[in-house]
Structure formats: C-alpha cells, structure tokens
Amino acid sequence: MRLFLAIQLSPAVREALLTAQDALRRQGRGSFPPPENLHLTLAFLGEAEDPTRARAALSEVSCRPFSLAVGGPPGHFGDLLWAGVRADPALEELAVSLQADLRSQGFCQEDRPWLPHITLVRRWRGEAP
C-alpha cells in the first residue's frame, strides 16, 4: 500500500476546491481526485506493507497550532495541476519535523523542499489555467 501523511481538509475548503475542479473540467480533461481524497500531503512514505514504523515516527512529533490558506492560481508540474497553499511557519515546521523523524525510522524522503499544495487533477490535457 502507498503510505503518506496528510492533513484532511475542512468541508468549506473541500467545496471551494470542487468548484475549482469543475472549472478545470470545462477547460480540459484529466484524472480528478474524488472529494474524499483531496488533502494536503505532509510527507510521502512510499510503498509499505506495515505502517508500524510510520506510527513510531508520528509518536515523536509534536506541533503548535497552525493555519493554512488555499489560494492563488493553480500551479502545475508537467501534467499535474494543484491548488497552492499558504502555510504558516508552524505548519512548515511540522512538515520538516515529520520528514526528519521519518528518515530516522528508515523512510527515504525526497531531497527537496516541501511544497504545500493540494492536487486538483493528474494527467491534465488542456490549456494551462
């Protein structure tokens, strides 16, 4: 199974993202995640049979209260379109801390900065929004 750590979105944020997806559907085509799969990924763990080590990494993490705001035009990388997220420093610290703890539990983390985003569509075929 593919494991990742993510933040579930509030119903209001999810509704706004569904509106953005509807607008994209009128501009092109692709694979749109269903509403229940919309999330903000904090760390991708990869394929794993047993989530026990990931749970151990989570037990070491604490975080301060944080806020996030979804906004700005959709971003893209190749055929992936996403909604940008403005994260406050506490959320950024949480993501960095999680990734460090996951490394200590033997999970290979990507060696690039965390880019907070919510995937709106994969395999996009259409004009760039």
pLDDT by residue (tens digit) across 31-44? Answer: 999 999 999 988 88
Burial (CB < 10 A; 0-12, 13-18, 19+), residue 65, is: exposed
Q: What are phi and psi of 109, to 5 degrees?
A: -100, 145
| Residue 15 three-state SS | helix
Q: Which of 14, 39, 76, 122 is catalytic?
A: 39
Region 57-83 average pLDDT: 80
The C-alpha atoms of residue 84 and residue 105 are separated, in whole angstroms, by 29
CATH class held by domain 2-126: alpha beta
Q: 3-state SS of the chain: helix, strand, coil percent to 5?
A: 35, 35, 35
The C-alpha atoms of residue 70 and residue 58 are separated, in whole angstroms, by 25
Residue 76 annotated as catalytic: no
Q: Which of 116, 117, 118, 120 is catalytic?
A: 117
What is the predicted pLDDT for the residue at 37? 93
Between 73 and 99, where is the model more confident? 99
Q: Is the pLDDT of residue 127 over 80?
A: no
Q: Which pTM value belongs to this model? A: 0.82
